[in-house]
């Protein structure tokens, strides 16, 4: 048997994508022009699937900071921090984030994926129980596989189900660690954090909260869902990414747990991965400053979100339950119509994400759009109009998302 035989269905699906149009998971840009535009096959395309929430990828300050660091400290660190030492800018960024989140310790990881992988896998020990939301990101599903803890999955955002699972554990040893996300990446909906924290306290559990999609987006100073609800102190470990609102790459966690520093010597995705290049650290640090000093970025994002969310809803599409930077449009149960619609939309000059089962909740297909502060209202209105026109033409009747999401 061939080594890749078990992926035969994926190989077949890819061949079908290629035969019927463009492979939605393999788009190749001729060039990227700005935060919101790229060239594709000689045409200009509006980027509405890149999670560039604050549009900082082309910020002058972030670019300049990166260029300066690149010249001053070189192209890369050539190794991990435990082996090669830490550059001053890495510590400075960690101090900046720890202060901003009002937590004692911050650790920077090389990707957001690794931040979740490292934190969740390391904190879940042999007698412990990790309770994860069923809509968790792939990094969390992979992290629990790496951990030595028992893993329980609760129904998405269903606090009764979480409570019930904690009750069933009564009398068994080990820490209970709840893992949730501020904004979920598929439907763009938010965790019921206040209820979750009340349950956490009642059962003496811990909470790891991934705010990858909510930092820079929610909260009076952009620190995420926990800040918005005044609950930052009740989050034991908060993880996040630099590849969305901050416009670079990397991940981080912040925590005030006693002895959290030991993670630098026990968390393997931190210990054994090369640290981020100085230029990335410098651009990220400039992006954090931009978030702190320019609330207008967030205001522009929130000016734009309703244009897409309300526009699509008014056109008759089923969208996710909460307004936010991810606007997910239900595109039916099957795969073909969703793939076809996605192709038509790209041809019409708009790039969004296609999400198919099993990556989606309830087995539905989703056209997942993301909004940026850098979008013009005209670009977003253009997307609403194009998608509406295409869907009316090809018979896409959106399924009720709330029911499909279970």
Partner 1 sequence: MAIPDSKTIAAAVMEALEPFSRPGQVLGRDTDIMADLEIDSVAVLDVVMVIEDKYDVSVPLELVPKIKTIGDFADQIAALLAGEK
Please report, as ranges, the residues that interact with partner 1 according to CB under 8 A: 132, 134, 144-145, 150-153, 155, 161, 165, 168-169, 357-358, 363, 406
Nearer to partner 1, 116 or 275 (CB): 116
Kindly state the smallest distance separating residue 6's Cβ from partner 1, in Å. 11
Least Å from the CB of residue 160 to partner 1: 11
Using alpha carbons, list the distances in angstroms from residue 206 to 45, 199, 201, 202: 44, 10, 8, 11
- The minimum distance between CB 179 and partner 1, in angstroms, equals 12
Q: Which is nearer to partner 1, 89 or 210 (CB)?
A: 210
Residue 317 backbone phi and psi in degrees, to 5: -80, 150
Q: Which is nearer to partner 1, 204 or 358 (CB)?
A: 358
Decide: 55 and 297 in contact? Cβ < 8 Å. Answer: yes
Nearest to partner 1 of 85, 363 (CB atom): 363
User: In the bound complex, what is the minimum distance in angstroms from residue 220's beta carbon to partner 1?
Assistant: 36
Residue 144 vs 374, nearer CB to partner 1:
144
Phi/psi region, residue 85 (left: phi>0; alpha: psi -120 to 50; beta: rest), is: left
- Asked if 247 and 59 touch (Cβ cutoff 8 Å), the reply is yes
For partner 1, give the closer residue by CB, 58 or 141: 141
C-beta of 401: minimal distance to partner 1 in Å?
Answer: 17
Nearest 10 degrees: Cα torsion 345, 12, 185, 111: -110
Nearer to partner 1, 158 or 347 (CB): 158
For 271, 314, 377, 401, the CA distances from 307, given in Å and listed in that order, are 44, 10, 7, 20
Nearer to partner 1, 256 or 357 (CB): 357
Residue 152 Cβ, how far from partner 1 at the closest point, in Å? 5
> Closest separation between CB of residue 85 and partner 1, Å?
38
Q: What's the chain's length in residues?
A: 406
Q: Are 365 and 331 in contact (CB under 8 A)?
A: yes
Torsion angle of C-alpha atoms 185, 186, 192, 197, degrees rounded to 10: -50
Smallest distance from partner 1 to CB 355, Å: 12
């Amino acid at each position: 048997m061939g080594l890749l035989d078990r992926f035969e269905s994926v190989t077949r699906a890819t061949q079908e994508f290629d035969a019927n149009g463009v492979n939605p998971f393999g788009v190749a840009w001729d060039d990227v022009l700005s935060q919101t535009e790229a060239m594709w096959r000689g045409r200009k395309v509006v980027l509405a699937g890149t999670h560039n929430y604050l549009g900082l990828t082309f910020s002058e300050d972030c670019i300049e900071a990166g260029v300066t660091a690149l010249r001053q400290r070189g192209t890369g660190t050539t190794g991990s921090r435990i082996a090669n030492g830490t550059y001053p800018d890495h510590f400075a960024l960690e101090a900046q984030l720890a202060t901003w989140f009002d937590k004692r310790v911050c650790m920077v990881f090389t990707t957001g994926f690794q931040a979740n992988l490292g934190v969740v896998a390391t904190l879940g020990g042999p007698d412990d129980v990790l309770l994860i939301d069923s809509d968790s990101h792939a990094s969390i599903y992979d992290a629990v596989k790496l951990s030595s803890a028992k893993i329980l999955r609760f129904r998405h955002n269903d606090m009764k189900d979480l409570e019930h699972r904690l009750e069933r554990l009564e009398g068994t040893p080990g820490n209970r660690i709840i893992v949730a996300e501020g904004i979920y990446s598929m439907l763009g909906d938010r965790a019921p954090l206040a209820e979750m924290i009340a349950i956490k306290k009642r059962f003496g559990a811990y909470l790891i909260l991934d705010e990858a999609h909510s930092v820079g987006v929610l909260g009076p100073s952009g620190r995420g869902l926990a800040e918005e609800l005044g609950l930052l102190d009740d989050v034991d470990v908060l993880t996040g990414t630099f590849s969305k609102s901050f416009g670079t790459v990397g991940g981080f966690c912040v925590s005030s747990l006693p002895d959290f520093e030991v993670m630098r010597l026990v968390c393997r995705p931190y210990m054994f991965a090369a640290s981020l290049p100085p230029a990335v650290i410098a651009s990220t640090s400039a992006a954090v400053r931009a978030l702190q000093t320019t609330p207008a970025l967030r205001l522009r994002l929130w000016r734009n979100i309703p244009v897409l969310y309300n526009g699509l809803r008014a056109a008759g599409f089923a969208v996710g339950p909460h307004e936010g930077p991810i606007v997910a449009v239900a595109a039916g149960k099957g795969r073909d119509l969703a793939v076809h619609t996605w192709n038509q939309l790209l041809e019409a000059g708009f790039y969004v994400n296609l999400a198919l089962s099993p990556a989606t909740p309830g087995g539905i297909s989703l056209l997942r759009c993301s909004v940026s502060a850098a979008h013009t209202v005209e670009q977003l209105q253009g997307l609403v109009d194009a998608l509406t026109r295409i869907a009316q033409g090809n018979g896409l009747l959106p399924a009720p998302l709330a029911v499909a999401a279970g």
